[in-house]
Structure 1
Amino acid sequence: MSFTGKYEVESQENYESFMQTIGIPAETIQKGKDFKFTTEVVQNGDDFTWSQIYPGHTMTNKFTVGKESEMETMSGKKFKATVQREGGRIVVDFGKYKHSSEIVGGKLVEVSEAGGVSFTRTSKKIA
């Protein structure tokens, strides 16, 4: 299934607990808690351009499934990671946590896991 589309955050579960687990400062957690941002994905086979569009800032990562790619976090930290495909999901190990994305019922469902805490973000397709 193709990930291509534009998605708007609909709900988040365990955001604060997860962010605390990976060491994000409380002030940053509070600022980001209620952000309503969009995710825009362009998929061409195994090649992806994945953008998160925040008020006043867009973060874009380009990667190919199965190949190491340089990526950037929201805070501007650059790192190398290899995105893998597991069934209909794409997964990546960010070091501090593991992240997966899949399309479920036309919605983008992202799950991040660290230290026994799971954070789920569900976004509805808007374009």
Structure 2
Amino acid sequence: MAFNGKFEFESEKNYDAFMKLLGLPSDVIEKGRNFKIISEVKQEGQDFTWSQSYSGGNIITNKFTIGKESEMHSLGGKKFKANVRMEGGKVVVDFPNYHQTSEIVGDKLVELSTIGDVTYERVSKRVA
């Protein structure tokens, strides 16, 4: 299934534990808890443009091609290179400090980010 669409944040699990493991200060974690995140994904074959807009106007956009090394930006805004792959209909990427999978389940975008034994789950509903 193509990943094309616009998705609005709906729910999350293990936010605090995951953000602490990322090393974010408690004031940043608190501020981020109230963000309204809109994810917009455009897929053309193996090429993706993946943007996340946060409350306050901050936007992180990653452009990548499945199977090719691409320059990416992490949640904290740090640049790194990664080889994004597709496994069983999921987009999979290893960020510097965590492993992430993203998939479409019905009308939802489900993103799982894992550090050690803590998995942060963010679910967003399709709005367009």
Q: TM (normalized to structure 1)?
A: 0.96
- 1:124 is aligned to 125
- Contact between 2:84 and 2:91, CA under 8 Å: does it hold in 1? yes
Deviations 1:41-95 (A, max 9, x none): 0000110000001131211110001100001124331110111111110100012
Alignment of 1:1-127 (within 5 A): 1-54=1-54, 55-127=56-128
d(CA) in 2 for partners of 1:76, 1:120: 20
Q: CA RMSD for the aligned pairs?
A: 0.9
Matched position secondary structure for 1:36? coil
- Per-residue deviation, 1:26: 1.0
- Contact between 2:93 and 2:99, CA under 8 Å: does it hold in 1? yes
d(CA) in 2 for partners of 1:79, 1:22: 15
- Contact between 1:108 and 1:123, CA under 8 Å: does it hold in 2? yes
Structure 2 residue ranges without an equivalent (≥5): none
Matched position secondary structure for 1:11? strand
Q: Percent identity?
A: 57
Question: Which of structure 1's runs of 4+ aligned residues deviate more than 2 A?
Answer: 73-76
| Count of residues in Structure 1 that have an aligned counterpart in Structure 2 | 127
* Code of the aligned partner of 1:33: R
d(CA) in 2 for partners of 1:97, 1:32: 18
d(CA) in 2 for partners of 1:74, 1:58: 10
